[in-house]
Chain A
Amino acid sequence: MLPIAAVLLLGCTHESGYEPNVPGGNAERGRRAIAALECGVCHEIPGVPGAWGHVGPPLVAYRGNVYIAGKQPNRPDVLMRFVRDAPSLAPDTAMPAIAMSETQARDIAAYLYSLE
């Protein structure tokens, strides 16, 4: 009884902090782009079948992460750049620049920010 009440009451607490949003990004298209580019070879990504790689960090609940790769603030513009061209923001990273369109990068960012 008490735990249920707790969950209900705590669930009602409205926290209005920073909400990353990607204007024009389509999360579902982003999910399909992630599957097509096979990002899951290196990353664990919820909602993408077969995405359970351990080479890069798991991208679980990505919306709430404070930093990208521990190096950059987790903001839509930075994330869009990072998914396409990680070495330009983190020169020593193992993640190569991946050929994709700007729309794909936008959609992928939208999908990652949909993971709570």
Chain B
Amino acid sequence: MNEEHLQSVLHAAPGSGAELLSGLGIVLYVGAALIFVAVIALVLHATFTDRLRASTRAWVVGGGIVFPAVALFLLLNYSIAVGSAVSAIESGSALRLLLDCFRIDSKARIPPPAPGSLRIHVDGKQWWWDVRYEVRSGDTSSIVLANELRVPLDEPVELLLTTSDVIHSFWVPSLAGKVDMIPGRTNRLVIRTSEPGIYRGQCAEYCGGQHALMALYVIAQPREEFEAWLTRQAQPAEAPRDDLLRSGYDAFFKGRCPECHTVRGTPADGASGPDLTHVGARHALAAGTLRNHIGTMAGWIAGAQDIKPGNPMPDSEVYTGRELRALSAWLESLE
């Protein structure tokens, strides 16, 4: 598996919007710090000197009007330029002039996605992320997963952000700024990166008891790998290969799992919980809460309420030890 990147705005991925934003941030932080130091130096100077060399009027006009006006004018234009560069919009000639002024070259700008290219619908829920790929225009039912997005390298990918319940906020700090998911609205975010790897993100708007355990992963990979993954995601789940997996499959239907979960290719078509068709291939479980292996899967099924108290998934309570192991093995086999 690829390397997991540090989740931090200070570790922006190359080629991402976050990189431009962190550039703007550094200008702001460093600039503000310099101005602060200069002002303090002047205050000290004024305090300990008997006679000011310059006239009071010149200081008031220069430091109080001219400098802020120029600095704010430049910053405003710089932030407009950065904002337009990360927004993946067609820039008109005025904007282009601005971008050139601040030396934001065309490679750093996130271009608008080509018409008909990949769009990903991400729907925030308490407390997980429903992810649907729109491969062809309007079709969002064939590739459905949860808490994980995969994107091809170096391509702008358009995310359509919605919510099914309360306000959430989609934030992958190393890739882009945060965008709220607001009831009744569809917000748009375009992400891009030129560095492969696993980027962690999390909900950045308090959304209830388990807000802190609502994370997701964005996995960026070369186009061919991404295509292979996408093709596999479009497949239904494979039939269980051996007796252990078959008994795991039976256990899934013995319990209440299908009421909430879908496994494409089986009768399970519950809609309120994450789609589990390829859950074994995911980087994490329970919205970025647990690493994904057979042990954590078993622990999550049997003790979901201990791990994320109040989340809609109940503790299983019905499985014998063997059934729990078989069920976990079957789910992990869904790659």
Q: Which residues of A are in contact with B by a Cβ distance under 8 Å?
A: 36-39, 41-42, 52-55, 87, 91-99
Contacts and interface: CB of A to CB of B under 8 A. Distances in A.
A41 B296 CA distance: 6
A38 B324 contact: no
Contacts of B319: 94
Interface of B: 290-291, 293-296, 298-300, 302-303, 306-307, 319-322, 324-325, 328-329
B299 A55 contact: yes
A94 B321 CA distance: 3
Contacts of B291: 36-38
A96 B303 contact: no
Contacts of B322: 91-92, 94
A96 B306 contact: no
Contacts of B299: 38, 41-42, 53, 55
A42 B320 CA distance: 15
A96 B320 contact: no
A37 B296 CA distance: 8
A54 to B, nearest CB: 6
Contacts of A53: 299, 303, 306-307
Given A41-B307, A92-B320, A55 B290 contact: no
Given A94-B324, A96-B325, A96-B328, A55 B296 contact: no
Contacts of A92: 320-322
Contacts of B300: 41
Contacts of A38: 290-291, 295-296, 299
A54 B290 CA distance: 16
B298 A42 contact: yes
A99 B296 CA distance: 12
A54 B316 CA distance: 13
4 shortest A-B CB distances, which residue pairs? Answer: A41-B299, A94-B321, A42-B299, A55-B302
A53 B242 CA distance: 30
14 contacts: A39-B295, A42-B302, A52-B306, A53-B307, A55-B302, A92-B322, A93-B325, A94-B298, A94-B322, A95-B295, A96-B325, A96-B328, A98-B293, A99-B294
A97 B321 CA distance: 12
A94 B302 contact: yes
Nearest to A97: B294
Nearest to B325: A96
A37 B294 CA distance: 10
B294 A96 contact: yes
Contact of B303 (A37, A42, A87): A42
A54 B302 CA distance: 9
Contacts of B298: 42, 55, 94-96
A39 B293 CA distance: 11
A52 B299 CA distance: 11
A93 B25 CA distance: 54
Nearest to B292: A38
B198 to A, nearest CB: 16
A96 B319 CA distance: 14
B325 A94 contact: yes
